[in-house]
Every structure is written in structure tokens, then in C-alpha cells.
Structure 1
Amino acid sequence: MQFLVRCGAVAVLGLAGCAAQTPESQLAPRSQTVRLCQGNTCTEQDRRISNLPGTQPTDAERRMQALAEVAERNPNAAYDLGLRLMRGDGIERNSYQAIEWLRKAGENGHLQAQLALGRIYLMGLEEMGPDPAQAESWLSLAAAKGSKEARDLLPQAQAAKKDEQSLYRVREAYRTSWSGWYSSAPYFWVWGASGWYQR
């Protein structure tokens, strides 16, 4: 019985120590690259598209790595990589990374990426719920560049930001059709014999 009391006290002290930490203090900063080693040779590879040591990347993985390198400096390529990640086209489908690449393109002024992000934040995506304030922000940027669809969606984002009922009506109205944009949107970059090139 005495052992149980001591263990209980240790458990309570351990939990109190965890509760005193903030989530930020528990996480180490995340690097954009990962160090992969095989034998005596180590290389830094992009964390978003990497392979385990000892495995050879497939042609599709090499193409996506090359596109990721272009996407770091070209908003059209960043948008394309976001679309490919949303679709699972040539790479494993990953909505989180897709949004990251779309944000990178949108932050660099890419109209289609801004509109796409506005749609995603207005409707929510998979496990991510809607965020009307983010939707309003992205749709405002796209509307300022002349997007008619962004101008049409902007009042809905503003209404959804004010009350849940408006958000529910918007989501119901677009539930079946809103995601069609990413299945039919064209790419800016295509793969050719000499690598990626812009159309």
C-alpha cells in the first residue's frame, strides 16, 4: 500500500511538471531539411519530399523533388506542387503540405493560389474546419486582382465570420461542388525530356 501511495505522488508530480510547460517549449524548431545518411555519405534533403536511406527514389519522386526545388523560387511551381499534393498526382496525397505550398504561392501574389486558399478556408478541408477570417483575407487578395469568383465568395466569408448560421448555409450550398476546382485546374509546369518547364 505504501508503494502505491509513493507511485501516486510521483505520478502527480510528473503531471504537474508537464502542465507547467507550454506546448511551444515542448517542441523543437522544425528544419525544412532532413539529414539522410547512407554509409559514410550524408545529404540534406527537403523534408517534404524525401526517401529513407538505402532506397532509390522513383522517377516520380525525383520529378517531385525537382519541382519542389523550382517551387521554392517560382509561385506557379509552388501552386502546381500544392495541386499535385491535393490530388495525389505523382506524389502521395497530403493536404497539409498542399496548403503549405499554396500559401507559399499565395504569399508571392499567385491569384489562383489565393482563390484556392479562400475556398479551402471558407469550406474547411478534411480534418481542418473552416476559418472564415482566413478565407476573407485570401479572398480579398484575389478579389483585388480581379477574380470574379473571389468577389462573389467574399460577402459569404464576411457573413460566416459573424455568425455560425451563415457559415453553415455557405458550406451546405457548396458542399458538393467546391472541391471540383482542384480536380480540373490546369498545371503551369509540365515534365519534359529535359525536366520541368513552364507552359
Structure 2
Amino acid sequence: MKNRLLLSGLLLAGAACAQSGDATIRICDASGCADRPRDSASFDPAHDDHPEETRRLAALADIARQDPRAAYDLALRYYRGDGVRRDSYQAIQWMREAGDRGVPEAQLALGRFYLSGVEEMGADPAEAEKWLALAAARGDKEAEKLLAEARSAKKTEQERYQWRQFHRQNWLGWWASGYPYHWYWGAAGWYHR
């Protein structure tokens, strides 16, 4: 019984410690600083205290569907969290919308995004090459420099892939059957040859 009480006390103390130190983060804004839970969000569309901003965002999305430069602006807003909840997925979607419709800044930005990778999206040198080639064809000097990097990264990635495929085909089977054991299992137990 004494051990159970001691264990219960330790568990409660551990839970209290876990809730205190790492569970909060200090957020400072125009209204001051406060400790908030790490999983809290500052923008919740369900509890929108700023209907005017929401209306402006909806209006910008409507404009973005018609004007690719507005799609680029909306992508930047989502990427930066400027007036909206920061959302890299929406940023990429709107940036692609602008890039597909010929906005050079969007094509360059997409090339950079895919060359280095953005948050949960890993790097994709082949996709970076596609976007940077479009921007470079319009005379963008920065895109030309980055295009060379993308091609080099793509080649390196292809070489790594080919190396992995070669070794998977030629050596993994050998490891499964070609290398002999030093110790074998028999009727009398383990023995060494």
C-alpha cells in the first residue's frame, strides 16, 4: 500500500511538471506578453473576432481566382501569416495558381520552395527546375543561377537513386542468401562450423 501511494504521488508530481515547463510558450503581441499553451492558435475562423478581415480575405480570394497577381499576393499572405492563419499548403496552392498563369515572381518563388523544401514539403529538384526554367526564360538572372543549382541537385538525386537501385537489385538478395552463418542451429542446439 505504501508503495502504491508513493507511486501515485510520483505520477501526480510528474504530470504537474509535464504540464508546467514545456506545455506553454510565451507569446508577445500588441496587447502585451502572456504564457499560452503550445497547441493554441491565434486565428480560429470558427470564433472570428475580425469579420472585416475575414471578409477582406474572401474578397482577395475572389480577386485571386481572376487575377494571377492577386493569387501571388494571397500566397505571400498565407506563407507569412499576414492577416491570415499561416498555412504553407495554401501558400503553395495559390503560388502554383499564380505561377501557372505566368506571374514571374511566383515562378521564381516556387523554384526556391521546391529547391529547398518548405516545412512539411521536402525538396524536389525536378519540380524546382521546371519553375526556375520558366522564370529564367523570362530573363530573371536569379532564376538562371538557381536553375544551375536545381539541375545539379536533380542530377545528384538521380545518381543516388540509381546507386540505391543497383545495390538493392544486386546485393540485398546476396545478403539474404549468399553470406554464410558462423553459428548454426541443430538438434543438439547451437554449434559453430
TM-score bin (small chain): 0.5 to 0.7
Structure 1 SS opposite 2:66: coil
Counterpart residue number, 2:120: 127
Counterpart residue number, 2:81: 88
Query: Cα offset for 1:164?
Result: 4.2
| Cα pair distance change 1:139/1:125, threshold 3 Å | same
| Cα pair distance change 1:61/1:166, threshold 3 Å | farther
Query: Cα offset for 1:166?
Result: 10
Counterpart residue number, 1:63: 56
Structure 2 SS opposite 1:163: helix
Structure 1 unaligned segments of length 5 or more: list them.
1-49, 168-199
In structure 2, distance between residues paired with 1:56 and 1:89: 16
Q: For the Cα contact (< 8 Å) 1:51–1:57, is it kept in 2? A: no
Query: Larger C-alpha radius of gyration, 1 or 2?
Result: 2
| Cα pair distance change 1:166/1:151, threshold 3 Å | farther
- Percent identity between matched residues is 56
In structure 2, distance between residues paired with 1:136 and 1:70: 29
Query: Cα offset for 1:165?
Result: 11
Provide, for residues 51-80 of structure 1, a one-character-per-residue CA deviation record: whole Å limited to 9, x for no partner: 54x967621111111000000010110000
Counterpart residue number, 1:101: 94
Matched to 2:128, the amino acid is A
Structure 2 unaligned segments of length 5 or more: list them.
1-43, 161-193
Considering Cα pairs closer than 8 Å and 6+ residues apart, tell me whether 1 or 2 has the greater RCO.
1
TM-score (norm 2): 0.56
| Cα pair distance change 1:78/1:166, threshold 3 Å | farther
In structure 2, distance between residues paired with 1:94 and 1:73: 21
Q: C-alpha root-mean-square deviation of aligned residues, in Å?
A: 2.3
Query: Cα offset for 1:151?
Result: 0.4
